[in-house]
Every structure is written in C-alpha cells, then in structure tokens.
Amino acid sequence: MIIMAFKDLLMLYKKNRQFKQRQIFFLIIMVVILLLSSIIISLNDSIFNYINNLTRNSLDARTLSVFPAPSETDIEKLKENKHILSINKQSVTSFLVHSDKFEDIIIRPANSTMFNNLTNNSLICPKEFVPKYNMSEITKKDIINGKEIIDTNIKISLSKKANDIYNSYEKEFKIVDTYDNYKYMLDNNVCLTSYEDFNDIYNFYYPDSNSETYRLFVDDVKNIDEVSHLLDDFGYVSSPLLEVNYASIIFLLIITIVIFIIFTILIYILIKFNIKKELNKKEEEILLYKSMGYEKRDIIKIYTIEYLVLCLIALGITYFLSIIILIIINTIKSNYMSFKMFSIKYDFKEIIVLFVIGIIYPSIIIKQKIKKIIEKRKIIL
C-alpha cells in the first residue's frame, strides 16, 4: 500500500505553494462569504434571543388578566396552585409619576415573591436607572447608577390634570434595592412597587372606578396555559398581558431557516464554481500524480491542504473582522439605551457554522472534483 507521509505532504505543500492573484481572489471570496454568514447568523441569533427573552422573561408575558373579579374563596384556592405567585386587583399596568429628586418615573407593581425587599412605601429601581419619560432619546450619559441611590427617599407626585398642584397625589417612597431591568425586558425608567401602593395610586387616579380586573402573576411563561385552564375551570376568563404569537414566531423561524439553507446552497455553489475552475486548470498536474503512482486519496490530500491553508487564513481573517465589527457595533449600541436589550454576540454555534462553510465545504468539493478528474477514462496527456 502506498501512503504519503504527512511530513512529505507538508514539504510538498511548502515547495508547491502559491500566493498569486488567483489565490488572493479565492481568499477574498471566502472572507466575504464567511463574514456575510457570520453577520446573518449573529443577527438571526440576536432576533431570536430578543424574542425568547421577551416571551420568557417579560413580566407582562407572565401576567394574566382575569375577569370577572374572583371571589375571596376562589382567590385563596387559586393561591394554592404552585405556579400562581400572586393575585391582585389591578386595572392598569403602570403610572407615569414625577419625583422630587429625579425626573419622570414609571411605577408598576411587582410580586413580592420575586422581589422580597418589596414592602410598602418602597421602590426597586433599575441598576442602570434613567428617570426620564422619553426612552428613545436617552444615551449612556443619562444613566444613574442604581446602587448610588439605594436608601434614598423620594417623593413622587401625580396629577390628574397638567400643572394641577392642588389636586395631586403625593407620597414618599424609599428606594430599597435595584433590579436588572434588561432581564425582565423593562425600560430603564421603570421602578417597581408593591400592589398595595400601586392600588393606592390607582384609587387616587380613578376614585370612581368600578373596574374589577384582577391580575394574576405566573411563575413561568410555560405555565401560562396550565393556569389559564385552571381559571377556565373556576369559570373565569383570562388573557395574558403580552400575548405571544407563536405562529408568527414559527413562521419567522421557518423563513430564517429557508433563507439560511438557500444562502448555504449559494455559498456551496460559489465555492464549488471557484474550486472547480481552479482544479480544471490543474487537471494535467493531477493526472501526472496519478501516472506516477499516487493513490486517489494522496492526490486529494495534496490539493485539499492547498485550499485548507487558504480557508484557514480566510477563517482567521473572518474571526478577527467579526470581533472588530462586534466591538464597533457594541460600542455604538452601548450609547443608545434603546438597543440595550438587543444583544449581538459571537458564540460557539457561529464558529461551528463558519468552520463547516470554510473547511468542510471546500474539502468535500475538492474530493468530488479530484475523484471526477482521476476517474476520467480518457486521458489526454
């Protein structure tokens, strides 16, 4: 059996290697292909991570609106269910209030099981606190470090009409803790308070309201359906505050997969076209190896190593450029708080996909093409 030693293979590569226009062209094509793939995968991942976070962690996705108002007995029975964290009377989700020490804050009720520091007259504010109404224009400079304002007493006020200082609601709160608002997909201006305090504000704002809407807070978004069925059994109608349209998500997922498959097929064709063109030019050289007694697999190795080195260089350049692009994007993104929840990362999956496109694809193509050349019955030498 004839086997070419790896040392000889490397030696032949070293002596035989070329880095001319054709190789540079191939390298550029590979870098462009790999970089495009990397960007597509990153964006795709980011969109799905965002949707995933939104559906799993958002407080609204875990909150059910219940109608009509449950009786006291039913509330007690419902509370026995392990997935139900709390049931509270609440008609609106949040209030925009003004504070004496900061600008505008959004107040919304939170569950004391999740935030155990949450007692009456207390607030839990974001770690990166931005007490402003309009969140679309905020930048990094507007951030207040949440830890610095812990134990601060603030007076909040709320008016039914603009500038109505006589009929405004006022109450003093103590900021007792901070929370990660990105984790719960909440804006940087949202402070959490207890249901009692929240209802106090609600009763001031809607003194004559006879709304009997209750909000039921579930431990995990995956248990929403189970709790909904339980409420059905009790004879109540329920609907989540944030309804996740899974059909749209699946549709989006299918579209992404289809686009990705088409994209990878196009990449395969492009790499194949390029390698085929190159190897066709080397047909005589390949057949010469055959005439000297080289086995098919040795000839494949000789040409695969030639391309693999180029592909590895292309992969290296792509990884480097991807990291640079990522740093630039994240630097720009970090200045705009509204993009904070949209994370663009570079993960292992991406490295694997790029490896498949950059190494496995060319190897398969080279193998197929060389086999085809070698197995030609008619050889014109």
Partner 1 sequence: MELKKAQKSFWKNGKEIKILDDVNISFEKNKFYLIIGESGAGKSTLINILGLLDKLDAGDLIISSKNVNNLNDKELSLMRLKEIGLIFQDYYLNPRLNAKDNILIATLINKDIKEQREELIEKKMAYLQILDRKNHYPHELSGGERQRVCIARALINEPNYILADEPTGALDEVNAKKVMEILKKLSENGKSVIMVTHDYRNCIYADEIYRLNHGKLVKENKNDFLKKYS
SS3 call for 18 = coil
Minimum distance from CB of 380 to partner 1 (Å)? 7
Instruction: Using the minimum distance from each CB to partner 1, give the nearer residue, 142 or 283.
Output: 283
* Residue 181 CB neighbour total at 10 angstroms: 24
Q: For residue 310, which amino acid is it?
A: L
Instruction: Using the minimum distance from each CB to partner 1, give the nearer residue, 160 or 376.
Output: 376
Instruction: Using the minimum distance from each CB to partner 1, give the nearer residue, 21 or 116.
Output: 21
- Cα–Cα distance, 60 to 232 (Å, whole number): 20
Instruction: Using the minimum distance from each CB to partner 1, give the nearer residue, 128 or 306.
Output: 306
Torsions phi, psi of 295, nearest 5? -80, 160
Instruction: Using the minimum distance from each CB to partner 1, give the nearer residue, 2 or 162.
Output: 2
The DSSP secondary-structure symbol of 120 reads: T
Minimum distance from CB of 18 to partner 1 (Å)? 6
Residues that bind partner 1 in the complex, under the rule CB under 8 A: 1-5, 8, 12, 15-18, 284-285, 287-296, 298, 377-381
- Cα–Cα distance, 103 to 369 (Å, whole number): 69
Instruction: Using the minimum distance from each CB to partner 1, give the nearer residue, 18 or 136.
Output: 18
Instruction: Using the minimum distance from each CB to partner 1, give the nearer residue, 247 or 381.
Output: 381
Minimum distance from CB of 310 to partner 1 (Å)? 15
82-103 core/surface letters (b: 16 or more CB in 10 A; e: else): ebbbbbbbbebebbebbbeebe
- Burial (CB < 10 A; 0-12, 13-18, 19+), residue 233, is exposed
Q: DSSP letter string over 328-371?
A: HHHHHHHTBGGGTTS-----HHHHHHHHIIIIIHHHHHHHHHHH
Instruction: Using the minimum distance from each CB to partner 1, give the nearer residue, 217 or 289.
Output: 289
* Residue 322 CB neighbour total at 10 angstroms: 21
Instruction: Using the minimum distance from each CB to partner 1, give the nearer residue, 238 or 304.
Output: 304
Contact 158, 202 (CB under 8 A): no
Minimum distance from CB of 277 to partner 1 (Å)? 19
- Cα–Cα distance, 308 to 25 (Å, whole number): 15
CA distances from 104 to 93, 202, 219, 283 (A): 16, 17, 30, 74
Enumerate residues 6+ apart whose C-beta is below 8 A from 208: none
Minimum distance from CB of 360 to partner 1 (Å)? 25
CA-based nearest residue to 93, from 8, 217, 3, 208: 217
Minimum distance from CB of 262 to partner 1 (Å)? 37
Minimum distance from CB of 21 to partner 1 (Å)? 15
Minimum distance from CB of 19 to partner 1 (Å)? 11
SS3 call for 297 = helix
Minimum distance from CB of 29 to partner 1 (Å)? 22
SS3 call for 239 = strand
Instruction: Using the minimum distance from each CB to partner 1, give the nearer residue, 23 or 213.
Output: 23
Minimum distance from CB of 317 to partner 1 (Å)? 24
